[in-house]
């Protein structure tokens, strides 16, 4: 097996969570890499949608922003933003959405708005964008994040996007019937909500990662599932396709 980085394993593990019949709302960064890796390996028919309105796009290189021309040129069609959010997202036609965040708490609530007080912020972050409704309207939500105590916090400073609130009934109480976050993929492990409490628990450790490492990088006393699996390392094929994709991307973006 070739050497691989923790970033590569994160992307590969996220890609494996996608199925050939998924319709995905894709975000920039790790989600975009994971979705396109899935499309180029085990899920050739997966439908990728970026919030700029590009439906069923098949970019040759990863976009720098959600509205790059490459996405439009390789899409089945491009729709106005109003239609994107009202028909396709709110209409319930998207099975999986990806979210990341500056802060994620033990119930998978996500903050992309502000660190500190909203009116006197320590750090003003870009904000929610499509995330509040991706969290509510996609069938399931996948989270990707680097694992650190700065990101995985006991309580987020601001709930931009609802995860599981404080427990199993909170999504329904907010008027939602979708599943919400079902998996968080980090560079150390996989976490899934406990079926009873909805708290994120570690269900798989990446090869070579110890429980102590995950405990140290998590801002709450993190729990482990009764049976913790080992995440299979990237296959040669997955690594080759992912590295080709990144290489093509770097070459394309260096050109202008």
Partner 1 sequence: MADIVSLPDAIAAHVRDGDTVAMEGFTHLIPFAAGHEIIRQGRRGLTLVRMTPDLIYDQLIGAGCASKLVFSWGGNPGVGSLHRLRDAVEHAWPNALEIEEHSHAAMAAAFHAGAAGLPFGTLRGYAGSDLRRVNRNVRSVTCPFTGEELAAVPAHRPDVSIVHAQRADRHGNVLVEGIVGVQKEAVLAAERSVVTVEEVVDDLAAPSPNSVILPSWAVDAVAVAPRGAAPSYAHGYYDRDNAFYQSWDAISRDRETFETWIREHVLEAGTADAGGAST
Q: Please state the separation of Cα 170 from the chain's center in Å.
A: 21
Segment 55-94, which members bind partner 1 (CB under 8 A)? 63-69, 71-72, 78, 80-82, 84-86, 89-90
Least distance from partner 1 to the Cβ atom of residue 108, Å? 12
Structure tokens at 81: 């933003």
- The upper half-sphere exposure of residue 65, i.e. CA atoms within 13 Å in the direction of its Cβ, equals 4
Give the residue numbers marked as catalytic.
51
Please give the backbone phi and psi of residue 219, each rounded to the nearest 5 degrees, phi first: -80, 5
Least distance from partner 1 to the Cβ atom of residue 21, Å? 24
Tell me whether residue 141 or residue 190 sits nearer to partner 1 (CB atom): 141
Segment 112-141, which members bind partner 1 (CB under 8 A)? 113, 118-119, 121, 123-133, 135-137
Tell me whether residue 41 or residue 151 sits nearer to partner 1 (CB atom): 151
Least distance from partner 1 to the Cβ atom of residue 88, Å? 11
Tell me whether residue 104 or residue 239 sits nearer to partner 1 (CB atom): 104
Structure tokens at 218: 């998590």
Instruction: Name, in order, each residue with C-beta under 8 angstroms of 169's C-beta and a sequence gap of 6 or more.
Output: none
Tell me how far apart the alpha carbons of residues 248 and 245 are, in angstroms, rounded to a whole number. Answer: 5
Segment 3-62, which members bind partner 1 (CB under 8 A)? 28, 51-54
Site string for partner 1, 235-254 (x = CB under 8 A): ------------------x-
167 binds partner 1 (CB under 8 A): no
Q: Compute CA distances 173 → 6, 159, 178, 218, 242, whole Å.
A: 38, 16, 12, 28, 41
Q: Compute CA distances 113 → 97, 125, 129, 130, 210, whole Å.
A: 19, 5, 10, 12, 32
Least distance from partner 1 to the Cβ atom of residue 167, Å? 12
Tell me how far apart the alpha carbons of residues 57 and 51 are, in angstroms, rounded to a whole number. Answer: 11
Q: Where on the chain is the footprint of partner 1 (CB under 8 A)?
A: 28, 51-54, 63-69, 71-72, 78, 80-82, 84-86, 89-90, 109, 113, 118-119, 121, 123-133, 135-137, 158-162, 165, 170-171, 174-176, 253, 256
């Amino acid at each position: 097996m070739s050497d691989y980085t923790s970033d590569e394993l994160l992307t590969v593990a996220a890609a494996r969570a996608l199925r050939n019949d998924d319709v995905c709302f894709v975000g920039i960064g790790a989600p975009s890499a994971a979705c396109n890796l899935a499309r180029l390996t085990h899920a050739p028919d997966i439908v990728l949608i970026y919030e700029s309105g590009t439906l069923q796009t098949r970019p040759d290189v990863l976009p720098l922003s959600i509205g790059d021309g490459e996405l439009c040129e390789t899409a089945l069609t491009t729709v106005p933003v109003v239609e994107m959010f009202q028909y396709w997202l709110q209409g319930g036609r998207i099975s999986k959405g990806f979210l990341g965040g500056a802060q994620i708490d033990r119930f998978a609530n996500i903050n992309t708005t502000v660190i500190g007080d909203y009116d006197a912020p320590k750090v003003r972050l870009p904000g929610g964008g499509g995330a509040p409704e991706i969290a509510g309207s996609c069938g399931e939500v996948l989270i990707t994040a680097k694992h650190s105590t700065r990101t995985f916090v006991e309580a987020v400073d601001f709930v931009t996007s609802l995860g599981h609130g404080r427990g199993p009934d909170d999504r329904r109480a907010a008027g939602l019937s979708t599943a919400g976050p079902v998996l968080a993929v980090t560079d150390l492990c996989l976490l899934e909500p406990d079926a009873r409490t909805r708290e994120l628990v570690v269900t798989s450790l990446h090869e070579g990662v110890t429980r102590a490492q995950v405990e140290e990088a998590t801002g709450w006393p993190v729990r482990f599932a009764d049976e913790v699996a080992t995440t299979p390392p990237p296959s040669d094929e997955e690594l080759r396709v992912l590295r080709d994709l990144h290489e093509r991307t770097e070459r394309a973006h260096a050109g202008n």
